[in-house]
Amino acid sequence: MQIYQGRQGKYYVINGIKYDEHFPQKWAVDHMKGTDDFCYEVGPEVCFNCRYYGKIRGVFVGYCINCADEYNFKRGNGFGFKQTQEEMWESLDYMKDVKLCQIGDLVETRRLRKKKIPKKIIEDRVIFIISFILIVLSIYLNLIK
Ligand SMILES: [Zn+2]
């Protein structure tokens, strides 16, 4: 399995999903598949919770709580929906000696990105404010007549 050097940590890729190098490879290639009478499938390829909660900086480190439950928590405690990722990642056995800053593949910038408001919206707002003032003014002028 080829290991890549990410921005923060090392990872490997299976079916387009980045896995932290410490995530057991035998699990990554063998997520539970649905059966005829039970069609729940687990893992980041099919589970949105895994993809959202199980990743740190774009790299998968552990199953979400639902999928972990499917394995009776033999593949980790799972990432809960209320705990922070930091709390959960620390409880994963295979991630024990890995620092949080050594996980992931994401460019992090110190500056908070400011949302730029498009010019058109600014113009619309100015027009709205001016027309609001004119309406209030005309009502006022009508009242003092
Ligand atoms: Zn899941």
In a domain, 43, yes or no: yes
Q: In this predicted structure, what is the pLDDT of residue 96? A: 86
In a domain, 54, yes or no: yes
Specify the 3-state DSSP secondary structure of 122: helix
- The count of domains in the chain is 1
What does pTM read for this prediction?
A: 0.69
Q: What residues make up the domain containing 18?
A: 4-102
User: What separation in Å is there between the alpha carbon of 70 and the centre of ligand 1?
Assistant: 9
For residue 127, CA distances in Å to 53, 119, 121, 124, 132 come to: 43, 12, 10, 5, 8
Question: In this predicted model, what pLDDT tens digit does every residue of 63-96 receive, in sequence order?
Answer: 988 889 888 889 988 887 777 777 777 888 898 8
Could you report the per-residue pLDDT of 123-142, keeping only the tens digit for each?
888 899 999 999 999 999 98
* Dist. CA 10 → ligand 1 center (Å): 22
The position carrying tokens 């709580």 is 65
How far apart (Å, rounded) are the C-alpha atoms in residues 74 and 4? 27
Q: Is 100 exposed, middle or buried (0-12, 13-18, 19+ CB in 10 A)?
A: middle
Q: What is the 53 CA–ligand 1 centroid distance (Å)?
A: 8
